[in-house]
Amino acid sequence: MSKSSLHIYLLVTTIMVASLNSCNDYNKVLKSTDTEEKWEFAQRSLDNNECLKSLPLLEELVGLTRGTQRAEQVQYLYAEAHYCVNDFYLARYYYQTYAKTFPNSNLVEEVEFKSSICSFHLSPNWSLDQTETKSAIQELQLFMDKYPGSALRDSSQHMIDHLRGKLERKSFESAAIYHKIGQYKSATIALNNALIDFPDSQYREEMHFLIIDSHYQYALKSTDRRKVERFNDATEAFHIFASRFPESSYFSEAQNIYEQCVKSVETLESQQ
């Protein structure tokens, strides 16, 4: 066996022995009746980022230390352990439980912020149901209202902005889909509602253009009796668009729709 192969063999053997000893130590602690030993091992595991090892120990310690001076520390670390393993539902629950159980603790602000972070992480992709996103925004806003001078305020606002971006995207895409599938009346309603909800939306230029086109396409599909009114809705939407986005990349197309509407109205009125 070469020196390099021997070195690798010894290294692997050492790691395996250390791992086996560590596993044996952990099993001994799990079976131990020594509360102090469990507590020290749980803390050490968390410090070493071995969160899964700490969880069963801390779960047991929550019951063993209830009503004692150590209860506060144990419950805090129990929430931390759940956060460490990315179980944000349970971490949020235990952070909130801690804040309710120990309202005078100097960790309450930190714990309530971490609960909000859990809610932030539980917010799904914009394309999915946004109930968790709305809850996260509400929780972060409540945190900012409760701690207006908090050093964590900027971080909270940054998360709120990110979450609102998801709601904004959801609102835009949900409205735009009506235009894509040819439901033009529904499109105008949904797009206008999206603009009311998000007046400064990054998609507002496109939404205004889609409103013009939706009115126009809806007019084309209408009976002659209703066409004049609906072509006029499109021209009115164009004037709003032109005043707000004179340099828009959609301007040429929007103007062409406008001109078609004007000609159509003139033709229809001349036939009356």
Which of 61, 85, 109 lies at the terminal end of a domain, its last residue?
85
Q: Show the domain range for 63.
A: 16-85
Query: Considering the domain boundaries, does residue 134 fall inside one?
Result: yes
Q: Is residue 64 part of a domain?
A: yes
Q: Are residues 161 and 132 in the same domain?
A: yes
Over the stretch 187-209, which tens digit does the pLDDT of each residue have? Answer: 999 999 999 999 999 999 999 99
| 114 & 194 share domain | no
Residue 11 lies in a domain: no
Higher pLDDT, 132 or 23: 132
Q: Please indicate, yes or no, whether residues 227 and 192 belong to a single structural domain of this protein.
A: yes
Amino acid at 60: E
CA angle 164, 170, 172 (to 5 degrees): 105
- Residues 61 and 38 sit within 8 Å (Cβ to Cβ): yes
Q: Are residues 186 and 268 in the same domain?
A: yes
Say if residues 73 and 103 touch (Cβ distance below 8 Å).
no
Q: Is residue 95 part of a domain?
A: no
189 lies in the same domain as 162: no
Domain boundary among 32, 57, 85: 85
Are 74 and 120 in a shared domain?
no
Q: Which two tokens stand for residue 257?
A: 């729709």
- Asked whether residue 231 carries a pLDDT value surpassing 50, the answer given is yes
Answer yes or no: are the C-beta atoms of 159 and 122 closer than 8 Å.
Answer: no
H or E element that contains 76: helix 71-84
Q: What is the mean pLDDT of residues 52-64?
A: 93
Q: Is the pLDDT of residue 248 over 50?
A: yes
pLDDT by residue (tens digit) across 23-40? 567 878 777 778 898 999
One-letter amino acid of 136: A
Same domain (yes/no): 32, 70: yes
**CA–CA distance, 31 with 146 (Å, rounded to integer):** 44
Torsion angle, CA of 59/60/66/72, rounded to 10 degrees?
-40
Q: Give me the CATH number covering residue 249.
A: 1.20.58
Could you say which of 58, 85, 112 is where a domain stops?
Answer: 85
Do 26 and 80 reside in the same domain of the chain?
Answer: yes
Same-domain check for residues 165 and 186: no
H or E segment to which residue 231 belongs: helix 224-244
Shared domain check, 272 and 189: yes
41 in Cβ contact with 31 (< 8 Å): no
Whether residues 187 and 268 share a domain: the answer is: yes
Q: How would residue 8 be classed by pLDDT, with cut points 50, 70 and 90?
A: very low
Q: Are 261 and 235 in contact (CB under 8 A)?
A: yes
Asked if the structure places residue 176 within a domain, the reply is: no
Structural domain tally of the chain? 3
Q: Residue range 139-151: average pLDDT?
A: 97
